[in-house]
Amino acid sequence: MKIKIDIKSNAIDSLNESFAKYELGENGELKAFKFSILHLSHCIELVLKMYLQTLDENLVFRNCFRKVTKKAKEENVDLLAAFHLLEDEGFDFENLIKGHSNPSTVNVTEALSVAKCEVCTVTGGHFVDQDFENDIDWMKSLRNSIEHFEFEFTAKDVRLCIGRLVRGLDIFTDVFSLFNLEEEIGKDKYHIFEVLADEYEHTLREAKLEVQETKDAIFRGTRPKHQMFIEWNVYTCESCGNDTMIPDSDSSTGYKCTFCDNEESEDIEVDCDICGCPWPNGEMTSWVDTYAYVCPRCDNPEAW
């Protein structure tokens, strides 16, 4: 019982630590993301071990895990079924680690390989989905090549992956009744969890960050006295309703929503083919065989 409590409080500590670094990363200290990932991967490893302990307290030890692997091969069943067979036979796992003062424990991949066997009795679907597994693989590769961190991954990749992992973790701890992530997170870090755990909020936040980052990049690359000539508009996207439509050189309309990729908006200004003044394209008239965009003033001069 003591081990269980230690693993849990360690896992929560790592998560809070990961969030603290994440916050620093978001505030511009990019290197902090690296530590955010290290702490998060530690947390995930511990949570997976907690899951193993719900089956048998000793299953976190590699000797016991190997016994299950061997049984699975012998009986040609998956790891979870093999464990239950041993359990039914009354196998004493504790016996395998007796006398070892510091027995080695399983790694993330080994722990996950058991959890992956868990199937929902109602839907028949696996509890651990492929996305969560892929993200854990990504996290492992990142952890292994952490020295090359700055070169191989963009801050946005890292932010989004941390977000997905935290959401996956939230589901995992809930499905296996390990603990309630929401309740365990410190009050001062809760706002970070909230955003990371909510995919929409998180993606939207990314979209807004991209608006700001693109703007900063454009203005940074232009001399102060030329900055007044930059055409920088942010429109409200008609498709998703967010203020996230910004100039995009690859877009056919010249604008693209950073949240939903929509390129169309009647608010986007185009130049009048007659007088050259910019107008929202929704108010433009097109004249048959002559002009594609005619502003209201040129279209009906008497009214002005």
Which residue number, 135 or 263, has a Cβ lying nearer to Zn ion?
A: 263
Do 270 and 245 touch, CB atoms closer than 8 A? no
* Contacting range for Zn ion; rule: CB under 5 A; set: 22-30, 48-56, 99-107, 255-263: 255-263
The residues that bridge with 279 in the sheet, in sequence order, are 270
DSSP 8-state secondary structure symbol assigned to residue 222: S
Residues 51 to 70: which contact Zn ion by CB under 5 A? none
Q: Which amino acid is at 250?
A: D
Q: What is the DSSP string of 20-51?
A: HHHHHHHTT-THHHHHHHHHHHHHHHHHHHHH
Per-residue binding letters, 160-199, with Zn ion (x by CB under 5 A) = ----------------------------------------
List the x/- string, 258-297, binding to Zn ion by CB under 5 A.
-xx-x---------x-xx-------------------x--
The residue among 175 and 240 lying less far from Zn ion, judged by its C-beta, is: 240
Helix (H/G/I), strand (E/B), else coil: 94: helix
For Zn ion, give the closer residue by CB, 190 or 287.
Answer: 287
The CB-of-269 to Zn ion minimum distance in angstroms stands at 12
In the bound complex, what is the minimum distance in angstroms from residue 284's beta carbon to Zn ion?
A: 9
Contacts of 38 (CB under 8 A, 6+ apart): 18, 143, 146
Place of tokens 């608006």: 211
- Smaller CB distance to Zn ion: residue 35 or 259? 259
Angstrom distance (rounded) from CA 89 to CA 96: 15
**Beta bridge partner(s), residue 278:** 271
State how far Cα 288 lies from the chain centre.
50
What does the alpha-carbon distance between residue 125 and residue 259 come to, in Å, rounded to a whole number?
31
Name the amino acid, one letter, at 168. G
Count of positions on this chain that bind Zn ion (CB under 5 A): 12
Other CB atoms closer than 10 Å to residue 174's CB: what's the count?
13
Kindly state the smallest distance separating residue 282's Cβ from Zn ion, in Å: 15
Beta strand 255-257 with 278-280 is unpaired
Cβ at position 274, least distance to Zn ion in Å:
5
- Locus of tokens 């755990």: 197
The verdict on 211 binding Zn ion (CB under 5 A) reads no
Mask for 212-241, x = binds Zn ion (CB under 5 A): -------------------------x-xx-
We find the least distance from the C-beta atom of residue 159 to Zn ion, in angstroms, to be: 19
Shortest spacing between CB 199 and Zn ion, in angstroms = 16
Of the pair 61, 259, the CB lying nearest Zn ion is at: 259
CB of 164 to Zn ion, least distance (A): 21
Binding-site ranges for Zn ion (CB under 5 A): 237, 239-240, 257, 259-260, 262, 272, 274-275, 295, 298
